[in-house]
């Protein structure tokens, strides 16, 4: 895969993205932290020796981009204080929750997770199943009304 210095670089940027998402005061900072997470996990999922192994990394990337786009749309809806007829229904909060569930691979948005997990190494599975879920879980907790 990569030598140890590259692994260390990607793991440290993965941690930095999660910390940025957790400690951010703005929605844009949260989104940036999630994107740093995405961009640092993709090289860990790819393999230069066998191009067929790169298919799950591409699938992971496409799903994460779709979830990030939905997150950005909901952030724009919150920031522009939209005045639509669905004002009382908390549409942005539901969109944020759905996008975070898609990023985590939680049911019912878990259709991509088994294929990605089946063709990655154990270490990458560990990172995807634990560390990659910290920031989305905390962001989902921000959307809960007390």
Q: Which residue has better confidence, 51 or 45?
A: 45
The pLDDT score that the predictor gives to residue 44 is 85
Which of 37, 35, 6, 23 has its CA nearest to residue 128? Answer: 37
Domain ranges of the chain: 4-142
Q: What's the gap between Cα 2 and its chain centre?
A: 23
What contacts 143, CB < 8 A, 6 or more positions away? 93, 96, 97
Q: Which DSSP category does 143 fall into?
A: T
What pTM was computed for the model? 0.86
The pLDDT score that the predictor gives to residue 146 is 32
Q: Is the pLDDT of residue 22 over 60?
A: yes
Which residue bears the tokens 């996990």?
41
């Amino acid at each position: 895969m990569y030598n140890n210095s590259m692994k260390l670089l990607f793991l440290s940027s993965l941690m930095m993205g999660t910390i940025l998402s957790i400690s951010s005061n703005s929605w844009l900072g949260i989104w940036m932290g999630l994107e740093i997470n995405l961009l640092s996990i993709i090289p860990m999922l790819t393999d230069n020796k066998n191009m067929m192994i790169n298919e799950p990394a591409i699938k992971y990337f496409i799903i994460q981009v779709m979830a990030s786009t939905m997150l950005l749309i909901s952030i724009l809806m919150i920031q522009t204080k939209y005045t639509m007829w669905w004002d009382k229904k908390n549409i942005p909060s539901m969109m944020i929750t759905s996008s975070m569930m898609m990023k985590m691979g939680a049911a019912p948005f878990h259709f991509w997770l088994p294929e990605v997990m089946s063709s990655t190494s154990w270490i990458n599975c560990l990172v995807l199943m634990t560390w990659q879920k910290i920031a989305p879980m905390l962001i989902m907790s921000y959307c809960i009304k007390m």
